[in-house]
Amino acid sequence: ILCCRQCERAGTRMGKAPATYGASTHGLRGDYSGMLADYTVEQDYASYDEAAQGRWRRLYARQMKLVPGRACPEFLRVIETLDYEQGVPRFAEVNQRLSAATGWQVVAVPGLLPENVFFGHLAARRFPVPVWLREESEFDYIVEPDIFHDFFGHVPLLFDPVFADYMQAYGRGGLKAEGLHALEYLARLYWYTVEFGLIDTPQGLRIYGAGILSSPSEIDHALASPEPRRIAFDLRRVMRTRYKIDSFQQSYFVIDDFGQLFRETAPDFTPIYQQVAAQSTLAAGEVLPGERLFG
């Protein structure tokens, strides 16, 4: 949940915030007052009123019309089985299926987390999800990740064994990158894979990035618009590339399969961070000579 849309802005705010993230003092959305030391809270299911339940069902129905033939098969296979059409999911129910499939859990949190807390959860195969749902005025666009973005966009892929291992490796890599002052590079990797990744399949390009899958308008932009660049995934290239947090992406990176993602991110990043730091940073929409582009 760290790196969705406005995470950079939120991260900046967090950097300035006092050591405790009390709801009244830091400007982040969510109630951080009753959480445990690992930032988890109980999901108070009665807190979702009828308006919220109806909003969830409309968000879900709208998105389900858009994903067939556009989301990757790994996503589509799972989303149907999750009973999301009933209303806001219960963490405990999703966890029964998810832990059986890959050993992952979703944990309820107040909202955005400090980076080290977020990485620590991922490293332990726990995906943090805010308990709150967006307001009606945010139906089309939400500036922070909410429970819909996370359950719809992220959770289905955690059922895929290879992608699940990638996410855990990412969490471990995050804890390590903090000491190497390389979080900026690692955040770009998350952004261009977990949030906005495309995948090449025999049927054509498909989406696996949660930021696209949970957006009503970016689905079409990512796959069909002539505007953005669709560039073959290259680890160093991704780490060099800035991204847009408040508009459609100008570039997407395309993987062949989740195995490629796992393999290419498996090596020790320490020397890779040094190489990337020595190279120029690229603008979001920039294309380099000789780069392999998808249509």
Nearer to ligand PHE, 113 or 189 (CB): 189
Nearer to Co ion, 128 or 145 (CB): 145
The one of ligand PHE, Co ion, none whose footprint includes residue 259, by CB under 5 to 8 A per kind, is none
Instruction: Report the residue number whose CB is nearest to Co ion.
Output: 4
Least separation, in Å, of the C-beta of 237 and ligand PHE?
15
3-state SS track over the chain: CCCCCCHHHHHHHHHHCCCCCCHHHHCCCCCCCCCCCCCCCCCCHHHCCHHHHHHHHHHHHHHHHHCCCCECHHHHHHHHHHCHHHCCCCHHHHHHHHHHHHCCEEEEECCCCCHHHHHHHHHCCEEEEECCCCCHHHCCCCCCCCHHHHHHHHHHHHHCHHHHHHHHHHHHHHHHHHHHCCHHHHHHHHHHHHHCCEEEECCEEEECCHHHHCCCCHHHHHHHCCCCEEEECCHHHHHCECCCCCCCCCEEEEECCHHHHHHHCCCCHHHHHHHHHHCCCECCCCCCCCCCECC
- Applying CB under 6 A, the site for ligand PHE has a residue count of 10
The one of Co ion, ligand PHE, none whose footprint includes residue 67, by CB under 5 to 8 A per kind, is none
The one of ligand PHE, Co ion, none whose footprint includes residue 176, by CB under 5 to 8 A per kind, is ligand PHE
State which of residues 50, 268, 278, 280 lies at the interface with ligand PHE (CB under 6 A): 268
Least separation, in Å, of the C-beta of 14 and ligand PHE?
21
Nearer to ligand PHE, 145 or 174 (CB): 174
**Is beta strand 126-130 parallel, antiparallel or unpaired with respect to 105-109?**
parallel
* Closest by Cα among 227, 218, 285, 287 to 63: 218
Least separation, in Å, of the C-beta of 207 and ligand PHE?
20
CA 44 vs. chain centroid, Å, equals 24
State which of residues 67, 120, 265, 276 lies at the interface with ligand PHE (CB under 6 A): 265
The 8 Å CB, 24+ separation contacts for 215-219 are: 216/62, 216/63, 216/66, 216/140, 217/140, 217/248, 218/248, 218/249, 219/66, 219/67, 219/70
Least separation, in Å, of the C-beta of 47 and ligand PHE?
35
Binding to ligand PHE in span 126-155, by CB under 6 A = none
The one of Co ion, ligand PHE, none whose footprint includes residue 210, by CB under 5 to 8 A per kind, is Co ion
Binding to ligand PHE in span 57-96, by CB under 6 A = none
Nearer to ligand PHE, 74 or 218 (CB): 74
The one of ligand PHE, Co ion, none whose footprint includes residue 268, by CB under 5 to 8 A per kind, is ligand PHE
Least separation, in Å, of the C-beta of 102 and Co ion?
18
Binding to ligand PHE in span 157-196, by CB under 6 A = 169-170, 173, 176, 189
The one of Co ion, ligand PHE, none whose footprint includes residue 4, by CB under 5 to 8 A per kind, is Co ion
State which of residues 48, 118, 196, 269 lies at the interface with ligand PHE (CB under 6 A): 269
The residues binding ligand PHE (CB under 6 A) are 169-170, 173, 176, 189, 265-269
